[in-house]
Structure 1
Amino acid sequence: MPTPYTEGNGLPADASFFSERRKSAAGPSLVLEAIRTYGALSRSDLAEITGLSRAAITKITSAMIAEKMLRETEQTDTGTSGRPVQPLEINDSYAYAAGIQMRDEYLEFVVIGFAGILRSQHTIDFEHTAHPDEVLPEIKEGLATVTRKAGLEVTDLVGVGLALPGMIDHQAGMVKFLPGYEAWRNYPIGPKLAGLLNIPVTVHWRVNAAAIAEMWWGQGKLARNFVYINIDNGVGMATIVDKRLWFGHEYAAGMLGHMPVPGCSRRCICGNRGCLMTLVSIPAHIHLVEEAYKEGVGSVLTRPLRVTEPHQITFTNLVAAAEAGDRLACNIFAEVAENLAVAIATVVHLLNPQLIVLGGQIVEASHLIADSLKKHVEDHLLGPEYQTVNIAFSELVPSAATVGGATLALDLRHDKFNE
């Protein structure tokens, strides 16, 4: 059983967490969280991790097996004179949910099972200037397609999770504000889509949804407290505290990209100057290439024979150029890594997380920036209390938010069982 983080009492961080969760969480929740964290576990392991008695674990797991939420795996030899143990694992076919992520140019759909196994995936083109009333039928059609690919019907789903950009009131299922999506302002997409599909719908900011996917199935699985930073066209942050999302007072926490950076005068899409996203977002990388192009800097990215217009440059081009040793591309990644490190160090000093997970398109360049980024972060941190932070890159991109949306929808079924 892995124990990557240790606290003062000598228990793994998650074991300490479970002892606290016992005060408020239902038994099935504790069992599910333990198995999601560590994988298949015996009843003895579950009792040890959750702090519940063997009798309680036997009663809870028997009910969960009867419900087909859990299933017994093959017996394993303990290596002692005792009888073999029979670990329990989550039954993926117990429930299915769909996730939908809205990107600038397309909608992505996935279906996952209760254990997080990806059952199907589908994308459709998306025109973000369209009114949401016109998009809803497209969502319904895309959902029907992705469920058919999984061998299911939409009515087989326990719920749908939408992962959207912008500010979201997740309790009301309402889009409060999406930059560039004016028609979506104050649009109750959750209730509207639930009425159209006749199944439960949950709506979240896509950065929060991606963090949930990391917590259940990705890099954050073994961390009690971590921060997820998404770097795409913008820069967003989600905070997990005691394995729960922290939303902020108006559900608007995490706009890291709009943190002002002293000395920076670049204009941001929000109208202000000097926002972090003008320094480290994917468009910021391209902007640096465009500036070099105007200044006549020699590079495979700026030579007219290779690229006749700077707007044709993509982040993938930039990564390939850096891999080939292009000086301009390497310098751009070095500059961005240094600026990003300052932001990460600030987050670490404020929140003292166990882990920082970086997601979004920036992951394409992880092999180019990981070492320098970690060094710059360490240079900015104070004493040993902060130096223990780990920095990891997501392995769920580009579908982390989509899977996270489906995961949040699975919670609807989980909560029903605990009632």
Structure 2
Amino acid sequence: MNKATLIRFATRAAVGTAAAAAFATSALAADPVKVGLALDISGPFAAGGAETRDAINLAIKLLDSKLGGYPAEFIQADTAGNPDQAKQIVDRMIQQNKIDFFTGVTPSNVALAVGPALFAAKVPFITSNPGPSQYAGAQCNPYFFGNGYQNDTWDEAAGKWATDQGIKSSFIIAPNYPAGRDHLTGYKRTYKGQIVAEVYGKVGQLDYAAEIAQIRAAKPEAVFFFLPGGMGINFIKQFVASGLSKDVRLVTSPASADEDTIAAVGEPMLGLFSTSQWSHDLTNPANIKFVTEFRKAYNRYPTFYAAQAYDVIMSIDAAVRDVKGDVKNKDAVLKALKAANYQSNRGPFKYGTNNFPIQDYYLRVIGKDNAGKITNKTLATPLKGYQDAYVSQCKMK
């Protein structure tokens, strides 16, 4: 018996208007809200995938496995950072699982691969990490929410800071895939010094001997790099071992300077600068709760991957609450997601017209805390209330 039949039956039985409304609400809640989680637990982005998984599981636990107070089902699968594998998984989630929301992927090439199917099926894709320029600009879509950041923005903050510091020359390096190109574009957009070389390596590359030789020959004042996961871990180790860190300043994004990389590299991380829209030492109440709960659950500081994934689940929770569980009302769901009616662990933010955040970006440095633990410390805010550079290309209103 469907919802409409139930309501007609209640009316014929003279239960009354109030009882019929209650019956309808009960019917809405009968089917769980379904969230597709396509995680990268294996492959070149596994470190970020594991952090994403752990934060999502923490959020689910704190929400008692519900969203907006309604029963929820979370369907997890490993994409291994592979666009073709991810497309197969997403097709299955749409057709078989009938998901209402989607999140979880780490790299931008996967986000770009799965987006079209999700948009066609009218499934909101709230990204827990990638913020490709295509979805911020000409290919923006009402069903895509770049909840964390737009790819270029970390690096725009880094480029501005490097310029303000009077750094006159930079060597820049990233893997050759959409996010790598976006991140270096962001740095170049705001950095006013000389780019002595722009180098793109392979995704998953672990040997940087050739690139370090190029850096030695170019003699830059700084190296800006975007090398997430094992790529960054190996690059930093090899760079410091080469002795170049004594004369060349390293600047990066949180993808190569957060707690997972610190745990893998140790002392060579000291003095590394990075920019991010979030840090574990931000003092807003939502972040204090998140960091406390994460450390209690996993006995370590969370990374930005974890912070973003946790925020996404909380944003979905708020949207489901605001539509009173009626997740089939797509217009209402999109409006509720865009309202972002929840307390973010990064502090205040709002979505721009392209569904990417307007928010602050912080400068951090890696040092030791009062207990002697190597970790990040927030120093400054190079960009305040910042909107990405692609918003004018987006035709949404």
Instruction: Determine if the TM-score, normalized by the shorter chain, exceeds 0.5.
Output: no
- Scaled to the shorter chain, the TM-score interval is 0.3 to 0.5
> Structure 2 length as normaliser, TM-score?
0.35
> Structure 1 length as normaliser, TM-score?
0.34
